Amino acid sequence: MAPPNQRRSSYSRRAQYNVFTGYILAGLGALVGAVLLGLSFFQPNLFGWARSGANDAVTPAAETTATVRSGTRSLWESITGYYRAGSKNAELEREMDIARIRLAEARAIEQENRRLKALIGLQDASSKPVALARLIGSTASSTRRFAYVGAGRSNGVKIGMPVRSPRGVVGRILEVGANSARVLLLTDSESVLPVRRAKDEVVAFAEGRGDGLLRIRLINLGINPLEPGDVFVTSGAGGYYRPGIAVAILTEKTDDGGLARLISDPAATDFVAIEPIFEPEAAIAVETPIERELEN
């Protein structure tokens, strides 16, 4: 394309100054950007108010698109459901039969659990979710994995609360606005979650890798007992998450643990529940550095 002729600023002083001022402003803009970036490296939540305010503003529109998104997805699912419907149906019925039996067994175990807990005087605090909200979107173009939910301070949501879908853990509340909140997804590379293997007491940390997978890091090193297909649930350590919520399935074994896939993929999640922090005192104790604890 032809170059614009306004670059040739001619003999006009005014035009020359305009071009010069443009360059100065652009340089200043870059400089301010660098300063802001440096500030937010040391204080990540310094500009949280601006972000959450902006997200409050776009939440209504984002909720609408999220509704359309889940609508089109379920339409596609019902179309693909017709593909080999007969054999799928037979298989599902078989699975259903087995699942019914397992469910009956699980009820019996639950009953026994309740009896045993009553015996040792453990109070099972029922955790009612603080809010139910739609997962309205995520920072889909950034390396960091954040999502937004359509509930905020006005619904009683606070920083640190766990977010879960019907399938399992989604993440943790990081920033709260009036009507929206930012969620740190499990796959973010800054997310660490204490987990245990569902079938026994092998404890580990599930760390996000930033590429959609979780890295399972065993706490007790030695012979790696993990097998692909192992299901991991929250262990309740750290005090944020209630124990026993599904997190991930192991897909690959490595030296110190393995790689796992999320059970509750945010892309397939529509509504999420924001739950209260499981043990607030424990969570605060973990957050407090030892030096400050000694001072008090």
Name all contacts of 283-292 with Cβ < 8 Å and 24+ positions apart.
Answer: 283/160, 283/238, 283/239, 283/240, 284/239, 285/239, 286/238, 286/239
Least separation, in Å, of the C-beta of 15 and another protein? 13
Among 202, 260, 262, 263, binds another protein (CB under 8 A): 262
Residue 172: both structure tokens together: 């943790």
* Residue 152 tokens, joined: 């905020």
Q: Report the candidate in 128, 134, 67 with the shortest Cα–Cα distance to residue 272.
A: 134
Classify 38 in phi/psi space as left (phi over 0), alpha (psi -120 to 50) or beta.
alpha
Q: Residue 211 carries which DSSP code?
A: S
List 90's β-bridge partners, or say none: none
Stretch that binds another protein, among 37-45, 94-102, 106-114, 282-290 (CB under 8 A): 37-45
Nearer to another protein, 6 or 74 (CB): 6
- CA neighbor of 261 nearest in space, from 251, 273, 246: 251
> Quick check: 54 binds another protein (CB under 8 A)?
yes
Binding pattern for the stretch 73-112 against another protein, x by CB under 8 A and - elsewhere: ----------------------------------------
Q: Which stretch binds another protein (CB under 8 A): 19-27, 84-92, 234-242, 245-253?
A: 19-27
User: Would you state the structure tokens that stand for residue 164, as one six-digit string?
Assistant: 């879960």
Does 212 bind another protein (CB under 8 A)? Our answer is: yes
- Residue burial 69-82, b: 16+ Cβ < 10 Å; e: rest: bbeeeeeeeeeeee
44 binds another protein (CB under 8 A): yes
Contact between 144 and another protein (CB under 8 A)?
Answer: yes
Binder among 10, 11, 12, 37 for another protein (CB under 8 A) = 37
Q: Which is nearer to another protein, 139 or 224 (CB)?
A: 139
* Cβ distance to another protein smaller for residue 155 or 254: 254
Residue ranges that bind another protein, judged by CB under 8 A = 1-4, 6-7, 22-23, 25-30, 32-41, 44, 46-47, 50-51, 54-55, 58, 61-62, 65-66, 69, 135-148, 185, 187-190, 209-213, 262, 265-267, 269
